[in-house]
Amino acid sequence: MAYEYEINEMAKEESWRMFRIMGELVEGFDTLSGIEPAVSIYGSARITPDDELYAQTQEIARRLGESGFSIITGGGPGVMEAANQGAMEAGVTSVGLNIELPEEQAPNIYTTKSITFHHFFVRKVMLVKYATAFVIMPGGMGTLDEVTEVLTLMQTFKIKPFPVIMYDSQYWNGFLEWLRSVVLPRGYVSEEDFNLLRICDEPDEVIEAVCEWYVKQQVIGKRALDR
């Protein structure tokens, strides 16, 4: 009887978890609907405002905002804060998609739309769903997870091949060289997969890459931006 009780309680718990997940998805869709076109910016949460990367991220986000793009980040400190600050300076929608963590990640103060998620995968859906381009600043495990997920979604045609811009070639060259020299020869990726990436070292290059792609797609028609 005790065993059956535990099974029933586990089933109830899983049912409520499903509803919590649905609730997070609905909140995300309701909050973010209509923010397009938008650019998601990823990168380390550990940099400080006196870091050169902070200023570069802030400039990139501000200039993208001035070009008409909303900015989406993970809502926390570091690169995320810098990007949201740049968006706020440009006067565009500044989205922060925060996550509950054991060591609390406080939302930064530069967001105009903020959601806090319990489930990482729901947060990832929202970071990808409304983006027209992805800017990958230097970062750690979380950033690697996010960039490889975006590339996998494109590789498997789950999302359209939007620009994936990796900023700072010196930082990313080791990762890309490993893919080319180790992973590619084993056939685990294809040469065409590298066409999904663009490496940039200056904010000007980032802005140009995003704007040129967007204008090109707009010529084809707005539906080219949707899936």
pLDDT number for residue 226: 46
Mean pLDDT value across the chain: 87
pLDDT at 223 over 50: no
Residue 41, token pair as written in the block: 């910016």
Which of the four CATH numbers 3.40.50.450, 3.10.150.10, 3.40.50.1100, 3.30.450.30 does domain 33-219 have?
3.40.50.450
Average pLDDT over every residue of 203-210: 95
State the Cα–Cα distance between residues 92 and 88, nearest whole angstrom: 6
Distance CA 135, CA 61 (A): 10
Burial of 6 (0-12, 13-18, 19+ CB in 10 A): exposed
Outline where DSSP puts E strands in the chain: 38-42, 70-73, 94-99, 113-117, 133-136, 164-167, 197-200
Select the more confidently predicted residue: 105 or 141: 141
What's the pTM value of the predicted model, to 2 decimals? 0.86
Q: What is the mean pLDDT of residues 168-195?
A: 94
Average pLDDT over residues 158-180: 94
* pLDDT tens digits, one per residue of 3-61: 454 555 555 567 778 888 888 888 888 889 889 899 999 999 999 999 999 999 999 99
Please give the pLDDT value at position 15.
Answer: 75
Residue 37: is the preceding peptide bond cis (ω within 30°)? Answer: yes
Burial 25-39 (b: 16+ CB within 10 A, else e): beebeeebeebbbbb
* Domain chopping of the chain, boundaries: 33-219
- DSSP for 182-205 reads IITTTTSS-GGGGGGEEEESSHHH
Distance CA 103, CA 106 (A): 9
